Chain A
């Protein structure tokens, strides 16, 4: 079908034959609209890679098919997935930035949810995105050499949208706390029940130190709305 030739022409990195007059104009529009949304979604990746390399990455993305989603706001998801499948050296940073996009647009309605009181059941903020990488991606900036990847290490991050303000918050956390929050995702618990379950699940840890750490971390996550009261 001729119309499809124009779609392919608009996405191709080095198109050979123009399917109709002014096809280049359509190609320009197509590329601009897609680049705009990716530059907004991946500001740090663009800075770290530099304009030229980011543009080249974008060109490669389009060349290899471009967005598979018909929803324009979901194009960043496609881009991050594509980079991840390519094992791009900065796929982790792109995934990290994509987490913010996902938290921001997450469909959960959370404005009515508040901080849990002492005996109230708790829940994780439904917009929470959990991701794990082999290097501290939050330290990747355009100003310094990127931190090295260490396959033996795990850097876990939470990203979530706060109620009412829509502020995107981030937190790096250790494996124990991450697993502890996993328990909260699986069980309906108030704070003391949760802490007890974590203590029971980690008999090798010093219970006093672990309890103190859980109290401190959970208080911070409650204050920053990563943990909310269960309805």
Chain B
């Protein structure tokens, strides 16, 4: 991948010649000023977590207004514990629905995970047993959420560091059952897919082929760290790897030109570095869609 230092304006000029692939960035507090100072054309959209803005006044509310004035906003939640058993708080879903309505976001997404039990919240994305019953249960809850927030819903498959002894499905099989039973969209996270393939000794390209890519509404791209024992941790603190770019090239012909998001949650780089990554994503989009 390119490593030369290019200024934002060069990237923007190149962007206009590239594909119609919409490329955005995850709006994080640590990136806020950097993104808001950047030319608006650098990104086609941003994505944010509603939990960090819902019910906030003051600085966060102003930040949200500034962001929504500049870019279309996609929303991606962290809190719903879709595979859990705890009932969804009705008032929360109502507030969330209003928030999404006000932002005019086309869909909302959250994670295929469990994070709460018996009313206690871990606030961590914990893996679900890959069983038919869990997929069925999760699909039912997704339909409940989508109906309550009155928005199309999509699920993101998470990075995992362990598998349950109870597993009876492969991860792509599990995801396919959830997506088909709930009739929801797929948020395809290519870094998560790659991390899981490495952590469980699978072939990432084969995994990708087995995913329900026809349901993809959005793609996430990010980097990860590798521990001393080889375990890959989904930190979003490093550059996207070449392998994950390759997966994007493999996925796009089947997903079509869905919005692609660059996630960076820590170890925040300079704008030029972010733009180098979005540029790479646009180049791949250009190769895939203009070569047809």
CB pair B60 A105 closer than 8 Å: yes
Contact of A66 among B83, B84, B121 (CB under 8 A): B121
Known contacts A20-B165, A70-B89; A7 and B61 CB within 8 A of each other:
no
- Of the stretches A23-31, A129-137, A182-190, the one at the interface is A23-31
Q: Digitize A64-78: 1 where CB-to-B-CB distance is under 8 Å, 0 elsewhere.
A: 011111111101000
Task: Give Cα A6 to B83, complex, Å.
Answer: 12
Q: A22-B162, A106-B57, A108-B57 are in contact. Are A11 and B122 (CB under 8 A)?
A: yes
Which residues does chain B contribute within 8 Å of A11, judged by CB atoms? 120, 122
In the bound complex, do residue B114 and residue A106 qualify as a contact, i.e. CB atoms below 8 Å apart? no
| Interface status of B266 (Cβ within 8 A of chain A) | no
Q: Is the CB of B123 within 8 A of A23?
A: no
Q: What interface size band does chain B fall in?
A: 35 or more
CB contacts (< 8 Å) of A108 on chain B: these are: 57
B126 at the interface (CB under 8 A from A): yes
- A45 to chain B: which residues have CB within 8 Å? none
Which residues of B are found within 8 Å of A29, using beta-carbon distances?
124
Give the residues in chain A near B127, CB-CB below 8 Å: 3, 6, 20
Q: A21 touches which one: B117, B118, B122, B162 (CB < 8 A)?
A: B162
- A104 proximity list for chain B (CB < 8 A): 58
B115 within 8 A of A: yes
B2 close to A (CB within 8 Å): no
CB atoms of A20 and B123 under 8 A apart: no
Tell me if A33 counts as interface (CB < 8 A to partner B). yes
**B209 sits at the interface (CB 8 A):** no
Residues of B within 8 A of A223 (CB): none
Number of interface residues of A (CB under 8 A): 42
Q: Is the CB of B163 within 8 A of A72?
A: no
Contact of A4 among B54, B59, B118 (CB under 8 A): B118
B103-128 with Cβ < 8 A to chain A: 114-124, 126-128
List of B residues within 8 angstroms of A87 by Cβ: none
- Give every chain B residue within 8 A of A161 (Cβ-Cβ): 57-58
Q: Which residues of A contact B58 (CB under 8 A)?
A: 104-106, 127, 161, 166
Q: A174 contacts the other chain (Cβ, under 8 Å)? A: no
Cα(A3)–Cα(B116), bound, Å:
9
A127:B57 contact, CB within 8 angstroms: yes
Contact flags B165-181 to A (C-beta < 8 A → 1, else 0): 11000000000000000
Stretch from B73-81, B145-153, B272-280 contacting the other chain: B73-81
The answer to whether A7 and B115 have CB atoms under 8 Å apart is yes
Q: How far is the CA of A218 from the CA of B119 in the complex (A)?
A: 44
Cα-based distance from A104 to B61 in the complex (angstroms): 11
Find out whether the CB atom of A3 lies under 8 angstroms from the CB atom of B84: yes
3 smallest CB-CB distances across A and B, nearest first, come from A4-B117, A7-B117, A3-B114
